[in-house]
């Protein structure tokens, strides 16, 4: 699938966009609620994240929010923070919309396309925190170039995170964990906040679990958690 922003910038999205057919209630939310919380990129220029939720005291971003459990939990715990989420999988988007509707989460905004398009449109030093949790590991050697944790993404995150802002990552794939650790160790813009070369074997208390983590643990895989700060 090619995402076209109306400029020469194009992205190829790999993986599924849809799973099982949505139930009627969630399909209705896609038609009614999504347009109200959707982030639409301008033809040129940047997106002002503060304008998306005008009363917010800070802005956080989750790249690839999956089914939205973590994003919704952070939105409930921090009603004064604008939570931006990027995801392309329709069923996950619909599940998060159901949580937004049920819990009346007024501080969530969604981008339903390649997250890199949103990153490119955000202004410098606008985020207080960013999350990339359990992204697709693309384990085959020929597919590793598709991994979201790469120099291009880190460059954009270094640009849009404020000095001192936190970057959190997680994976249950051992090879991807080593890939992340190596990428971050070689990237001077971020400093590890946690032990074991940036990786924790357990989540910090303020880091809500996701169903992907639960599935990994049930399957006998060990998640690794990374906490880093943008250098001042």
> Catalytic amino acids?
136
Return the SS3 of 12.
strand
Question: What angle in degrees, to the nearest 10, is found between the helix axes of 174-185 and 151-160?
Answer: 60
Contact 198, 227 (CB under 8 A): yes
Q: Using CA atoms of 108, 109, 114, 118 in order, give the dihedral in degrees to the nearest 10.
A: -110
| Tokens 């966009």 found at | 17
Burial of residue 77 (CB within 10 Å: 0-12, 13-18, 19+) is exposed
Burial of residue 156 (CB within 10 Å: 0-12, 13-18, 19+) is middle
Question: Residue 123 carries which DSSP code?
Answer: P
Distance, CA of 89 to CA of 232 (rounded, Å): 35
Q: CA 81 → CA 76, 110, 153, distances in Å?
A: 10, 14, 23
* b/e code 174-198 from CB counts within 10 Å (16+ = b): eebbebbbebbeebebbebeeeeeb
């Amino acid at each position: 699938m090619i995402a076209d922003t109306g400029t020469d910038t194009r992205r190829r999205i790999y993986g599924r966009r849809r799973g099982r057919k949505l139930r009627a209630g969630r399909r209705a939310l896609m038609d009614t609620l999504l347009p109200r919380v959707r982030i639409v990129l301008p033809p040129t220029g940047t997106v002002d994240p503060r304008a998306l939720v005008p009363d917010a005291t800070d802005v956080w971003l989750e790249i690839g929010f999956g089914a939205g459990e973590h994003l919704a939990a952070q939105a409930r715990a921090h009603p004064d923070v604008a939570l931006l989420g990027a995801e392309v999988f329709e069923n996950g988007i619909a599940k998060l919309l159901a949580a937004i509707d049920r819990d009346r989460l007024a501080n969530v905004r969604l981008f339903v396309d390649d997250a890199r398009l949103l990153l490119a449109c955000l202004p410098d030093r606008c985020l207080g925190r960013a999350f990339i949790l359990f992204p697709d590991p693309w384990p085959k050697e020929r597919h590793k170039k598709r991994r979201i944790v790469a120099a291009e993404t880190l460059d954009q995150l270094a640009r849009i995170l404020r000095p001192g802002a936190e970057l959190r990552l997680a994976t249950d794939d051992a090879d991807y964990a080593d890939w992340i650790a190596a990428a971050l160790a070689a990237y001077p813009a971020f400093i590890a906040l946690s032990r074991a070369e940036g990786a924790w074997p357990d989540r910090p208390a303020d880091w809500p679990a996701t169903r992907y983590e639960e599935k990994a643990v049930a399957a006998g895989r060990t998640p690794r958690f990374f906490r880093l700060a943008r250098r001042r």
